[in-house]
Structure 1
């Protein structure tokens, strides 16, 4: 039984790698930056009950395609009504084919459904990785709006092997990431 290659991975191998080799002048195809992993993270209210925690875990699992891990607090903080060992978040790390499938759904389906979408900021973290905050998880088609009791936000981190922000930005742009077009600044009238 042969496994089908994700379409975005196929695009990366057939078009993005040759384009980056040509534009950046890499001597070896292994120098070309590639995706390492995608991490999805969300926080859970300290006062959440077991049902809310299960709902968040179910929704993140539906979005990611694999079961997330619950993050627990390391120590008690009275001001935040937080006990040691209490569930405070949920995260999942995607690699290989699951990573490529999620990125395709994010770029092609989820981001364009955001109301008044004009692109995402093109600022990377200084090491070629991209962080994106999604304020409402219902933009993903896997989430049924009827079952949502509380909207959750997601932090999505795309980790690459790029050595600079410029390399990482070009890699993501060639993969189809809808970066915001920088508008030229109009000169001020004197």
Structure 2
């Protein structure tokens, strides 16, 4: 995909240091960690040449749903947990709020979201359902935005409640879930790639389409 071949004896050109040393005669500069780059630039992960030894791969998939309806009725959270557990085959974990927000009626310690973390066979089974079953059923769906990513090889996209209802585990038991309680969810795909471009190439080869402006 993004393999770069180097002949035997090839030596890559040396690059300048990304961190700056401390200048001055202060005794506190000795053994002090190097300074970051000037300005607001953020240090990203170093991209190493891709060979057959370090081809990017998917490490894990996180499916998360924030249930706003659980503020008033906790049954929305139970429905969200059952749906995420059904479509991922992984037991959902509920998360509670850390602070109270009076403007939204949120109290500290209130459970408002659920998360499932997938690895191994469950992860690949979930992705195959997304690519082969769910995504083709979504009307007028262009794909995943090319600007998604955290500059470290992790890409995210989301589904609405109507789109979550297209999962086969939900469709076969549609009467079991109240239609207005089916939540939307966010899917975060964590890869071993060190930048968004390599991660996007990996997911494109697996069948996930991207559109729009690509940000590497």
TM-score range, shorter chain: 0.7 to 0.9
Q: Equivalent of 1:44, from 67, 82, 85?
A: 67
Q: Structure 1 length normalisation: TM-score?
A: 0.77
Q: Which residue in the other structure is 1:115 paired with? A: 139
Provide the C-alpha distance between the structure 1 equivalents of 2:165 and 2:129, rounded to a whole number of angstroms. Answer: 13
CA distance in 1, matches of 2:58, 2:71: 36
- Structure with higher RCO (Cα < 8 A, 6+ apart): 1
Runs of 4+ in 1 over 3 A off after TM superposition: 23-28
Q: Deviations over 1:69-119 (max 9, x none)?
A: 001011222222111211110011111111111111111111111112333
Residue-pair matches, total: 162
1:17-60 per-position Cα deviation (integer Å, ceiling 9, x unaligned):
xxx36x44367423111101100000112424333221111011
* Alignment partners' CA distance in 2, 1:112 and 1:158: 19
Take 1:78 and 1:129, find their aligned partners in 2: how far apart are those partners? 33
Instruction: Give the TM-score normalised by structure 2.
Output: 0.68
Q: Which moved more, 1:43-52 or 1:98-107?
A: 43-52
**2:176 corresponding residue in structure 1:** 147
Which runs of 5 or more structure 2 residues have no equivalent in the other structure? 6-48
Match of 2:157 in 1: 132
* Deviations 1:118-149, CA, capped at 9 Å, x for gaps: 33223331222111011121121111332332
**Structure whose residues are more often helix by fraction:** 1
Alpha carbon RMSD of aligned pairs, Å?
2.0
Name structure 1 gaps, 5 residues minimum: 1-19, 183-190
